[in-house]
Copies of this chain bind each other. A is one copy, B any other.
Amino acid sequence: MSFADRLAAAVKATGSVTCVGLDPRKAQLPAPIRDAVSGDSPDAWAAAYTQFCNEIIDVVAGRVACVKPQAAFFEQLGPAGMVALGEVIAHARQAGLLVITDGKRNDIGSTATAYADAYLGQQSPWGSDSLTVSPYLGRDSLEPFVEVCDQREAGIFVLVKTSNPGGGLLQDRKTDGQTVYSAVAELVTEFNSTRLGQSGYGPVGTVVGATYPEQLAEMRAELPGSWILIPGFGAQGGGAADVQAGFDERGLGAVVNSSRHIIFAHARPEFKDKFGDAQWLDAVSAATDDMNAQLRF
Q: Does A23 contact B (CB under 8 A)?
A: yes
- Chain A residues engaging chain B, CB cutoff 8 angstroms: 23, 25, 42, 70, 72-73, 75-83, 86, 102, 104-109, 111-112, 114-115, 117-118, 124-126, 134-141, 159, 162-171, 173-175, 180, 183-184, 187, 231
Give A163's nearest chain B residue, CB to CB.
B108
A270–chain B nearest beta-carbon distance, Å: 22
Contact A137 B82 (CB under 8 A): no
| A170 contact from B77, B81, B118, B184, Cβ within 8 A | B184
Contact A108 B164 (CB under 8 A): yes
Contact B139 A169 (CB under 8 A): yes
Contact A135 B170 (CB under 8 A): yes
A125–chain B nearest beta-carbon distance, Å: 2
Given A70-B111, A135-B170, A183-B170, check contact A125 B164 (CB 8 Å).
no
The CA of A115 and the CA of B184, in the complex, are separated in Å by: 25
Give A173's nearest chain B residue, CB to CB.
B175
Contact A108 B162 (CB under 8 A): yes
| A136 contact from B83, B126, B170, B187, Cβ within 8 A | B170
Contact B79 A83 (CB under 8 A): yes
| A79 contact from B72, B109, B125, Cβ within 8 A | B125
Give A111's nearest chain B residue, CB to CB.
B72
Residues of B within 8 A of A173 (CB): 173, 175, 180, 183
Residues of B within 8 A of A82 (CB): 78-79, 82
A136–chain B nearest beta-carbon distance, Å: 4
Query: What are some 10 contacts across the A-B interface (CB < 8 A)?
Result: A72-B105, A72-B114, A72-B115, A75-B118, A79-B83, A82-B82, A108-B162, A108-B163, A141-B167, A173-B183
